[in-house]
Structure 1
Amino acid sequence: MSTARTPNKLARTVAGFQRLPRGLRTWATSFALGRVVPLVGTAGLRYEEITPQRVVVRIRNQRKVQNHIQGVHAAAMALLAETATGFCVGMNLPDDKLPLIKTMKIDYVRRSQGDMVAAASLRPEQIQQILTQDKGEVTVPVTITDASGEQPIQAEMVWAWVPRKRG
């Protein structure tokens, strides 16, 4: 992971977990980040991959995140997409900036099956924009698949960033 280029608190925290064995790394990273964002911890999201270019997050289809037909709840699907895209931006955002979700568009195209995975990524020019602009916004591509390998939802997430106010 390239944290020398963009050392921020999130990237440093994630880098600290990279020395752990994979199974423990996933658990420790998910536990720590779930404490920072309580809803993420409550929903049991698991971070499978975190780099400045790509973030992959999984949600298990378990009772605490289910809807009335025992699938992953629509709001939990939105949380999955928002989390993957937000951490993708967060891995690159300087500490003096604050990330904010600006637009969340989700189309539910079919019933989901089982666990779900969201994979978000940023292109090099998007990362450069995040690193160099005082304020801005970026559309973060994200693909959400379920246990069948299909995409039950299509999402578009626009993230903005602004200077962090010192108080």
Structure 2
Amino acid sequence: MTVGEMLSATVPMVRTLNLQYLETSPERAVLSLPDQAEYHNHLGGPHAGAMFTLAESASGAIVVAAFGDQMARAVPLPVTSEMSFKKVAMGAVTATATLGRPVADVIAELDEGKRPEFPITVEIRRADGAVTSEMTVVWTLRPNR
């Protein structure tokens, strides 16, 4: 089962918004949000809440791909998120997430008994390639006690 299939099966909001996993790796994830009238805002484009969910889901896909093998000893949790809106989004949009620290460095901190934090940046683009939104999510791996 791929990361996208697993998250689609276990996270109801992913299914609700019909998010599509185009690429998932420990360093990068690409997801798309189809153009769906039921999730439009007052301008006729994707609602900010739907775009937030798209971006956060892209960051979560990286977390699962990069640290899924650590989940027996730590729980991944978002710590903070910040989103900025650059241009009006219309139609289908695509989120590209990128891990901001080497996987090995995060795992080394976990091995030392620390609670590592790591940023994941996300760009959301329209079909014409214009960046409509940017998000940074700082995640942590909380060790099980």
Which residue does the alignment assign to 1:50? 24
Counterpart of 2:2?
14
Normalised to the residue count of structure 1, the TM-score between the two structures is 0.75
Q: Is the 8 A contact 1:59 1:115 kept in 2?
A: yes
Equivalent residues in 2 for 1:16-31 (5 A)?
29-30=4-5
Report what 2:116 is aligned to.
136
Aligned pairs, how many? 138
What are the equivalent positions in structure 2 for 1:1-167 lying under 5 Å apart? 13-14=1-2, 29-30=4-5, 32-93=6-67, 94-95=70-71, 96-122=73-99, 125-134=101-110, 135-164=115-144
Structural RMSD (CA)? 1.8
Q: Looking at both structures, which has the greater relative contact order when contacts are Cα pairs under 8 Å and sequence separation is at least 6?
A: 2
Q: Which runs of 5+ in 1 are unaligned?
A: 1-12, 16-28
2:64 aligned partner, one-letter code: G
Where 1:68 maps in the other structure, the secondary structure is: coil
Q: Greater strand share, 1 or 2? A: 2
Structure 2: runs of 5 or more not aligned: none
Q: What do residues 70-100 of structure 1 show as CA deviations (whole Å, max 9, x unaligned)?
A: 2100011111111111111221211221111
Q: Aligned AA for 1:132? A: A
Tell me the distance in 1 between the aligned counterparts of 2:12 and 2:107. Answer: 27
